[in-house]
């Protein structure tokens, strides 16, 4: 896995190194996507359960690129639900992510930057059993905030990568376990956790032909305490445009946080839906 990841990053660097530099001026884009799936059975002797699922995605990017500096603001919103048979609808997607990165250009390949990022969700999250649904998360419960400063490298519009010192805060209200609570303090539940360490963030996007787009975001955070406490978030999206308003999207996410689970977490989504570019 590690060798494949390193090889992928090297390939991305080689591809982007030959691309054109990001143009001077302002660029902005806001894209929305809605997808739905429905299956219905009535007296179907082969068996099966009716299903219905829907998801809304919104992504935005605002870039102000000047000779001496670059200010990039990005946002990602996602929410969806699914229902199987007679069960109540369950959440299948829920994400709020906002990030702002300011880079000062020194006229060399590596430039200093400052960044802030916030992440949370819209609605309650549940852990389901055969007989119950237990609430385990909510809006800003947990909420994650990260501030970082360091050095960034952006050889082209397709690739940006940075490494720097970072502070990461986890805030909770009703659900401190396992997000912000310190398991070593048995007599107290902490609703706030602050970690200092190093953060690496890499964004890559590449168009193949006119209707195929691949984007990848890899974020690694280490509190420098133990190798198994390195947090990894890897979000990959492959989009194929069938028509101007119809897209097929495949989303693969890999997530690892030792505080939440000793195993890696994986989520993948394949959807066909309507896409509209607002800006």
CATH number of the domain to which 217 belongs: 2.40.160
Query: What is the enclosing helix (H) or strand (E) of 110?
Result: strand 110-120
Q: Is 4 among the domain residues?
A: no
Mean pLDDT of 223-238: 91
Q: Is 1 among the domain residues?
A: no
CA–CA dist 198, 134 (Å, integer): 35
Query: How do residues 150-204 score in pLDDT, each as one tens digit?
Result: 999 988 878 999 999 999 999 999 999 999 999 888 889 999 999 999 999 999 9
Place of tokens 């839906």: 273
CA–CA dist 268, 11 (Å, integer): 23
Contact assessment for residue 168 and residue 221, using Cβ atoms and an 8 Å cutoff: yes
Residue 122 in this model has a pLDDT that exceeds 70: yes
Closest residue by Cα to residue 47 from 39, 36, 55? 39
Q: Is 120 among the domain residues?
A: yes
Residue 5 in this model has a pLDDT that exceeds 50: no
Q: What is the pTM of this model?
A: 0.87
- Tell me which residue range forms the domain holding 187: 31-277
Place of tokens 């906002």: 98
Q: Is 209 among the domain residues?
A: yes
Count of structural domains within the chain: 1
Contact assessment for residue 143 and residue 118, using Cβ atoms and an 8 Å cutoff: yes
């Amino acid at each position: 896995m590690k060798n494949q990841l390193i090889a992928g990053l090297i390939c991305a660097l080689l591809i982007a190194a030959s691309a054109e530099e990001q143009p001077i001026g302002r660029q902005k884009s806001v894209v929305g996507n809605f997808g739905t799936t429905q299956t219905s059975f009535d007296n179907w002797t082969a068996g099966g359960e009716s299903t219905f699922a829907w998801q809304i995605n919104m992504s935005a990017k605002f870039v102000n690129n000047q000779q001496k500096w670059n200010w990039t603001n990005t946002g990602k919103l996602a929410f969806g639900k699914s229902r199987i048979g007679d069960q109540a609808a369950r959440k299948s997607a829920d994400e709020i992510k906002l990030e702002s990165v300011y880079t000062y250009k020194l006229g060399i390949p590596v430039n200093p930057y400052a960044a802030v990022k916030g992440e949370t969700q819209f609605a309650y999250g549940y852990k389901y059993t055969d007989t119950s649904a237990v609430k385990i998360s909510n809006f800003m419960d947990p909420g994650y905030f990260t501030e970082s400063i360091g050095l960034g490298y952006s050889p082209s519009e397709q690739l940006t990568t940075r490494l720097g010192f970072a502070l990461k805060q986890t805030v909770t209200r009703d659900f401190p376990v396992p997000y912000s609570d310190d398991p070593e303090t048995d007599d107290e539940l902490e609703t706030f956790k602050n970690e200092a360490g190093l953060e690496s963030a890499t964004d890559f996007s590449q168009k193949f032909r006119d209707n195929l787009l691949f984007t990848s975001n890899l974020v690694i955070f280490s509190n420098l305490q133990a190798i198994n406490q390195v947090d990894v978030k890897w979000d990959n999206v492959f989009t194929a445009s069938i028509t101007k308003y119809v897209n097929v999207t495949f989303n693969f996410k890999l997530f690892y946080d030792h505080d939440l689970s000793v195993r890696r977490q994986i989520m993948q989504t394949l959807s066909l839906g309507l896409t509209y570019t607002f800006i």
